[in-house]
Structure 1
Amino acid sequence: MLEELRITGLGVIEDTTLSLTAGMNVITGETGAGKTMVVTGLGLLFGGRADAGRVRSDPGRAVVEGRLRLAEPAATTVGTRVSDAGGEPDEDGSLLLSRTVTVEGRSRAHVGGRSMPVSMLGEIGEQVLAVHGQSDQLRLLRPAEQRAALDRFAGGEHEKLLAALREAYTGWRRVSDDLADRRRNARERSQEADLLRLGLDEITRADPQPGEDADLKAEAQRLEHAEGLRTAAQTAQQCLAGDADPTDETPDVTTLLGLARRTLEAQSGVDPALGELSARLEEAATLVGDVSAELSGYLASLDADPARLQTVYERRAVLRGLTRKYADDVDGVVEWAERARARLSELDTSDDLLEELERERQRLADEVAEMAARVTASRREAAGRFADQVTVELAGLAMPHARIEVAVLPRPAGRSDPTLRVDGIEVGVSADGADEVELRLLAHPGAPALPLQRGASGGELSRVMLAIEVVFAGSGGPPTLVFDEVDAGVGGQAAVEIGRRLSRLARTHQVLVVTHLPQVAAFADRHLVVAKDTGGAVTTSGVRVVEDTERARELARMLAGLPDSDLGIAHAEELLAVAARERRL
C-alpha cells in the first residue's frame, strides 16, 4: 500500500503531504482546489507522462515522493526488480519513490535511494496501482478495450492460449509476407542474385584471408629493405654478443656487464648495497642475452628472395582489385562475401523453395486457425461468468434489474485483417484472435440488449465500470486502486450504493477515491480535504485530514454548500452514522 504521498510545486499545490491508510481514503474539496493534481501526482510517481506546463514557475520544478509498503506477491516481484537495479528498501522495509519534473520538461526518477529510469517507476506502478477515471470509462466503450477486459478476466490459462496464438500468428504472417514478396519481385530478386554471384565468384577465386593485406604490406616492406635490416640486426647482435671480427679488441656488452657484476660482487661483503646492484646487473645480462638470441632468429628469418617479393606484389594487386569493388580493406571484403551469401538465400525464388514456403505457410495458417478457435471457445466460456459476476455487482449498485451480456462474435472478413476459415466460417484474424467482443447492457426487464456506448447513461457507465473493477479485484490485481470521479452523473441511492461497494472493496485493497458525492465520502476510513488558499499573491492548495466535527462540516458543504448550517451538519452526521453501520456489516 501507499503510506504517504508528498507533492511539491505541482499545479496549485505548493507543498503538501497526504498520509494514507490501508482502507478507503477519500479526497474531496471545492472545484478547482487541486484534487486533480493529487491524481496527477500519483501518475507521475508511477511513471506517467510528465507535463511541464503543470510545474510551478517557483521553484521551477515539481517533486512527487511516495512511501510504499509492499505485500506479497508484489513484494517479491517489485523487490527483486528494484534490488537487481541497485535500489534498497528503507530501514523499516518501506520503499521510497521519487519523481522530479522541471519547467524545461526534464524528468528524473529515484527508487530505493538510487537514480533509475522513469520506466522503472512504470514497472512498479503496474504491480501496485491501478488508476480509474472518466477517461477509463470512455476507453471501456471501445471494442478492443472490452475484449481486453474479458481476456484479463479469463485468467492465466487463457493468457497462455493468447500467447501461443500470437506466436503462431507472427510466424504465419512472416512466412506469408516472405512468400508473397518472393513471388511479386522474382525478376528483381533474380537480377540481384546474379550480381551477387559474380562478386562471390571473384572473391572465392582470390580467397582473401582476414588481415592478409596488412600482413603482405609488412612483408613487402621487409623484403624491399632486407639488406638494411640485415646490417642493422647484425651490428646490434655483434655489439651485444661479441660475434665481431676476432681481431677486433673492442669488448662487447655481455663481457662488460659480466666484468661489472663480478667487480661489484667482490665488494658486496663490505657494503650490501653493491651486492644488490650486482644482482640487478645479472638481470640485465640475462635480458641482453635474450635480445641477442632473438636478433639471431630475426637474421635467420630475413628473406631477400626477389621472386618472393614479386609474388607479394602480384598478390597485393589482386587484393587491391577486390577492395576497390567491395570494401575498404580485405576484412571488409570477407564480410561482404558473408553478407552476400546470406542475401542469396533470401533471394532464392526457385520452385522448390516456393513450394516449401507454401507448405509452411499453410501449416502455420492451420495452426493459427486452430489456436483462434480455442481462444474463441475460452472467451465464450469466460463471457458467461464475467457477465454473471458483473450483473451481481450492478444489483448492489442500485441497478437491481440491470443485466450485462458479453457477446463474442466472429470478426467479419474483408476488413484490413487477413482472413482464415475458423470453425467453418471465413473470418478476419489478428494476433488477438478472430473475435469481436461487445459488452451489452439490459437496463431493465424487457429492454433490448444495447452496446454500452448506446445503452448506458453516464451514471450507469460509472457503475458498470466500478462493477467490473470489483470483479477484477476479486481475482487479484494491484493492491491499490484509485478512482478519480468515476461517480460523476450519479446521485441519490445509487451514490450510497457506490460508497458501500467501495467500502467493501477497501476490505481487501487500499482504495483512493476522488469524489464530489457526500454519500461516497461518508464511507471513508480516512477523509482528506484539498483546500485552496487565495490569501497570498499566488493561489496555492494544501491537503489535510478531517475528523469528527470538521468532517461533518465538510460533508455539509458537499451536501448543500453550507459548512456551518446546523441542518446540513445534522444531515451529514446522520449520513456518517449510516455509513459506519454499513461498514460494520
Structure 2
Amino acid sequence: MLHELSIRDFAIIEQVHLTFSEGFHILTGETGAGKSILFDALSLIVGGRGSADFVRHGAKKAEVEALFELAAGHPAIKELEVLGLTQDDGSLLIRREILQSGKSTCRMNGQLVTLAMLRQVGEVLLDIHGQHEHQSLMRTEEHLVWLDAYGGPFLAAELEKYKQSFQEYQDITKELAKINRDEKEIAQRIDLLTFQRDEIAAARLQVGEDEELNQEQSRLANAEHLTHSSASAFELLYGEEQGGERINRAARDLEEIVSFDDSLKDVLELVQSAYFQVEEAARQLGRYRDELEFDPMRLSEVDERLTVIEQLKRKYGDTVEEIILHGEAVAKELEGLEHRDETKQELSERQASILTELGEQAPLLTQLRKEAATSLEHRVEGELMDLNMKGTHIKVAFHEDVGGEQEIQFTATGADDVEFLIAPNPGEPPRPLAKIASGGELSRIMLALKTIFSDLDGINTLIFDEIDTGVSGRAAQAIAEKIARLGKNRQVLCVTHLPQVACMADIHFSISKESKEGKTRTRVKMLTEDGRVMELARMLGGVEVTETTRTHAIEMIRLAEQTKEGM
C-alpha cells in the first residue's frame, strides 16, 4: 500500500508531506484548491508522462516521492525481480524529478530506471481512476479490453497464442506481397544485386587487409629514406668505436674494478645487459636494412588494391568487414529473389496453414469470451444493485448480436466485435451504453467494474478522482457505501464533493489554497473529528457554517460509523 507521499514545487503545491494507512481516505476542498493535482503527482509515480508545466513557477524542478509497503506476494515484488531491481524489507521508494526543460528522471529504491520500467511496476501498484476515465465506457473499442481482462489467465493464454499466429500471418502476407510486386521492378533489383554481389566477390577481400596494405605502402614509398636511416642507426650501434663497442669496453673496465671492489657489481650487470640488448637490436636492424628494397611494381600493385578497397567503401561500408557483410546480405536476398517461385509456394502453404489455425483459435476465443461475458454481466448487475441501480440489465453483445451473421474477419485480437449494452429499466431492450447512459450511470457502472477488477488484479491501492460526478441523493449514498466496502479490504483514496461520500471516510484530508505575498500555495492537512465536522458542514451549507449544518454533519458521521460497523 501507499505509505507516504512527498511533493515539492509541483504546480501550485510548494511542499506537502502526507502519511497514509489502510482503509478509506477522503480528500475534500473548494474547487481549484488542488485536489486533482495530488492525483497528477501520483500518476507520475506510476509512470505518467512528465511535463515542464508541472514545475512550480520560479522553481528549478518539481519532485514527487512515494513510499510503498509491499506485503509478501505483492505482484510488484515479482516485477521488480524481473527488472533486476532490489527492494528493501518490503519497502519500495519511487522518486520522480521534472526539470524546467521538461526532462525527467525516475528512481526506484535509489536506482535509476527508465519510464517504461517504472510503468511496468506502476501498473500493479496503483489503480487510478481519473475524472474522465468513465468516458472510456463510451468507446466501444475499449469494451473488448475490459472483457478480456475479466476472462482470466486461460483466456489470456489463448489470446496470446492467437496473437502470435496472427502476427505470423501478417508477416507472411507482407512477404508474399513483396514477392508478387511488379516483375520489371524485381528484374531491376536482381540486376543491381547481381552487380553488387559480383563486384564484392571479385575483390576477394580479407578482414584487416587494408590496414596491412597501408603499412606496406608507406614502407615501399619511403624505402630509400628507410634504408638510409636504418643503415645509419646500425652503424651507430654496431660500428667500430660506436655504441656497442664503447659499452663493451666499459664492461671490461668495470670487470677489472669489480675484481677489487664488488660494490659496483650491480653497475657491471646493468652495463653487460645493455651491451647484449644493443647487440640484439643491431642484429634485428641489420636484417631490416638488408631486406629493404625499392620495388616500384609492388608499390603500384598496393596502390591499385587500396584504390579498389576505397571505391568499395564508398559504396558498401566504412570498413572491409562491413563490405563483406553487405555482400553476404546481397547474396542472401538475391538467392531469395532467384528462387521466389519456390519461396512463394512455401509461404503460400504456410499462410494457408496459419489461416486454418486462426479459424480454430478465433472461435475458441469467442467461446471463452462469451462464457466470461455471461459471468461479467451477472457480476456487474449485482454490483449495480448495490449502487441503487436495481433492475438494470447489462448485456455484453457480440457482433452477431448487433449486426447478424457475418463472414469471419480476423483482427489482431480475434474475430469479435464486442459492445456493452444497457437496459436501465425492466422491460426495455438493451441499447448501446454510449447512447443512453447518463453521467451518473456511467460513474456507477465504472465503479462496479473497478470493484470487480480489484478482486482480480491484485492491486490493493485504488484511487478515485471524483468518481461520484453526476450523482446525488440515494445514488450518492450507494456509491459512498460501495467505496467504504472497498476500503475494508484495501487502501482507497478518493477526491469527492459529496458529503455522503466524505462522511464514510476512515481518514479525511482537507485541501485548501491560499495566496500570500503574491504567491498561491496549496495546503493539505489531516482533519481531527472536529475538523471533519466543520468540513462536512461546509460541504452541506456552503461558505457559511451554521449550527444546523454542523448538527447535520455530526449526525451524518454518526450514521456513517453505524453503517460501516454493519459491513
- Which segments of 5 or more consecutive residues in structure 2 lack a partner in the other structure? none
Matched, 1:111 2:112: no
1:532 match: secondary structure: strand
Contact 1:61 1:101 in 2 (8 A): yes
Equivalent residue number for residue 518 of structure 2:
537
Equivalent residue number for residue 126 of structure 1:
123
CA distance in 2, matches of 1:412, 1:487: 31
Matched, 1:277 2:251: no
> Once the two structures are superposed, what CA deviation does each residue of 1:141-160 show, in whole Å capped at 9, x if it has no partner?
21221111111111222222
> Once the two structures are superposed, what CA deviation does each residue of 1:364-402 show, in whole Å capped at 9, x if it has no partner?
222233222222222112111111111111111112212
Q: How does 1:166-177 map to 2 (within 5 A)?
A: 166-177=163-174
Equivalent residue number for residue 556 of structure 1:
537
Q: How many Å apart are 1:439 and its aligned residue? A: 1.3
Equivalent residue number for residue 145 of structure 1:
142
2:95 match: secondary structure: strand
> Would the alpha carbon gap of residues 456 and 189 (structure 1) be closer, same or farther in structure 2, given more than 3 Å must change?
same
Contact 1:562 1:568 in 2 (8 A): no
Contact 1:554 1:563 in 2 (8 A): no
Equivalent residue number for residue 499 of structure 2:
518
Equivalent residue number for residue 406 of structure 1:
396
Q: How many Å apart are 1:179 and its aligned residue? A: 0.8
CA distance in 2, matches of 1:412, 1:369: 21
CA distance in 2, matches of 1:44, 1:321: 53
Q: How does 1:279-298 map to 2 (within 5 A)?
A: 279-295=269-285, 297-298=287-288
- Equivalent position amino acid for 1:362 in 2: A
Q: How many Å apart are 1:472 and its aligned residue? A: 0.7
Q: What is the CA RMSD across the aligned residues, in angstroms?
A: 3.2
> Would the alpha carbon gap of residues 442 and 318 (structure 1) be closer, same or farther in structure 2, given more than 3 Å must change?
closer
Q: How many Å apart are 1:435 and its aligned residue? A: 0.8
CA distance in 1, matches of 2:137, 2:283: 85
Q: How many Å apart are 1:124 and its aligned residue? A: 3.0
Equivalent residue number for residue 418 of structure 1:
none
- Equivalent position amino acid for 2:125 in 1: V
> Would the alpha carbon gap of residues 566 and 271 (structure 1) be closer, same or farther in structure 2, given more than 3 Å must change?
farther
Contact 1:411 1:427 in 2 (8 A): no
TM-score normalised by structure 2 residue count: 0.89
2:123 match: secondary structure: helix
Question: Identity across aligned pairs (percent)?
Answer: 35
Q: How many Å apart are 1:521 and its aligned residue? A: 1.3
- Please, which of 478, 483, 487 is the counterpart of residue 502 of structure 1? 483
- Please, which of 399, 417, 423 is the counterpart of residue 436 of structure 1? 417
CA distance in 2, matches of 1:321, 1:489: 73
- Please, which of 72, 82, 101 is the counterpart of residue 98 of structure 2? 101
- Please, which of 392, 396, 399 is the counterpart of residue 382 of structure 2? 392
Q: How many Å apart are 1:268 and its aligned residue? A: 5.8
Contact 2:76 2:121 in 1 (8 A): no
CA distance in 1, matches of 2:30, 2:300: 95
- Please, which of 440, 447, 453 is the counterpart of residue 472 of structure 1? 453
- Equivalent position amino acid for 1:127 in 2: V
CA distance in 2, matches of 1:100, 1:328: 41
Matched, 1:579 2:529: no
Deviates more, 1:519-528 or 1:442-451: 442-451
- Equivalent position amino acid for 1:439 in 2: F
Q: How many Å apart are 1:511 and its aligned residue? A: 0.6
Matched, 1:484 2:465: yes
1:574 match: secondary structure: helix
Q: How many Å apart are 1:300 and its aligned residue? A: 6.5
> Would the alpha carbon gap of residues 117 and 352 (structure 1) be closer, same or farther in structure 2, given more than 3 Å must change?
closer
> Would the alpha carbon gap of residues 193 and 501 (structure 1) be closer, same or farther in structure 2, given more than 3 Å must change?
same
- Which segments of 5 or more consecutive residues in structure 1 lack a partner in the other structure? 245-249, 414-423
1:428 match: secondary structure: coil
Q: How many Å apart are 1:515 and its aligned residue? A: 0.6
> Would the alpha carbon gap of residues 196 and 571 (structure 1) be closer, same or farther in structure 2, given more than 3 Å must change?
same
- Equivalent position amino acid for 1:57 in 2: H
Matched, 1:161 2:162: no
CA distance in 2, matches of 1:53, 1:464: 33
Matched, 1:69 2:69: yes
CA distance in 2, matches of 1:192, 1:276: 76
CA distance in 1, matches of 2:545, 2:300: 109
> Would the alpha carbon gap of residues 169 and 284 (structure 1) be closer, same or farther in structure 2, given more than 3 Å must change?
farther
Q: How does 1:195-274 map to 2 (within 5 A)?
A: 195-223=192-220, 226=223, 229-230=226-227, 232-233=229-230, 236-237=233-234, 239-240=236-237, 242=238, 250-251=240-241, 253-261=243-251, 263-264=253-254, 267=257, 274=264
Equivalent residue number for residue 371 of structure 2:
381
> Would the alpha carbon gap of residues 97 and 235 (structure 1) be closer, same or farther in structure 2, given more than 3 Å must change?
same
Q: How many Å apart are 1:279 and its aligned residue? A: 3.4
> Would the alpha carbon gap of residues 206 and 116 (structure 1) be closer, same or farther in structure 2, given more than 3 Å must change?
closer
Q: How many Å apart are 1:526 and its aligned residue? A: 0.5
- Please, which of 371, 381, 384 is the counterpart of residue 361 of structure 2? 371
- Equivalent position amino acid for 1:53 in 2: D
> Would the alpha carbon gap of residues 48 and 220 (structure 1) be closer, same or farther in structure 2, given more than 3 Å must change?
closer
Equivalent residue number for residue 13 of structure 1:
13
TM-score normalised by structure 1 residue count: 0.86
Q: How many Å apart are 1:522 and its aligned residue? A: 1.5
- Equivalent position amino acid for 2:158 in 1: L
Q: How many Å apart are 1:283 and its aligned residue? A: 3.8
CA distance in 2, matches of 1:251, 1:136: 97
Matched, 1:57 2:38: no
- Equivalent position amino acid for 2:37 in 1: M
Q: How many Å apart are 1:331 and its aligned residue? A: 5.0
1:530 match: secondary structure: strand
> Would the alpha carbon gap of residues 345 and 582 (structure 1) be closer, same or farther in structure 2, given more than 3 Å must change?
farther
- Please, which of 166, 184, 187 is the counterpart of residue 184 of structure 2? 187
Deviates more, 1:98-107 or 1:184-193: 98-107
> Once the two structures are superposed, what CA deviation does each residue of 1:188-239 show, in whole Å capped at 9, x if it has no partner?
1211211221332243334232333443454355456556645654554465
> Once the two structures are superposed, what CA deviation does each residue of 1:127-185 show, in whole Å capped at 9, x if it has no partner?
20111123210012212211111111112222222222222111111111111122123
CA distance in 2, matches of 1:78, 1:333: 43
CA distance in 2, matches of 1:200, 1:177: 25
CA distance in 2, matches of 1:103, 1:319: 51
Q: How many Å apart are 1:337 and its aligned residue? A: 2.0
Deviates more, 1:54-63 or 1:501-510: 54-63
Equivalent residue number for residue 453 of structure 1:
434
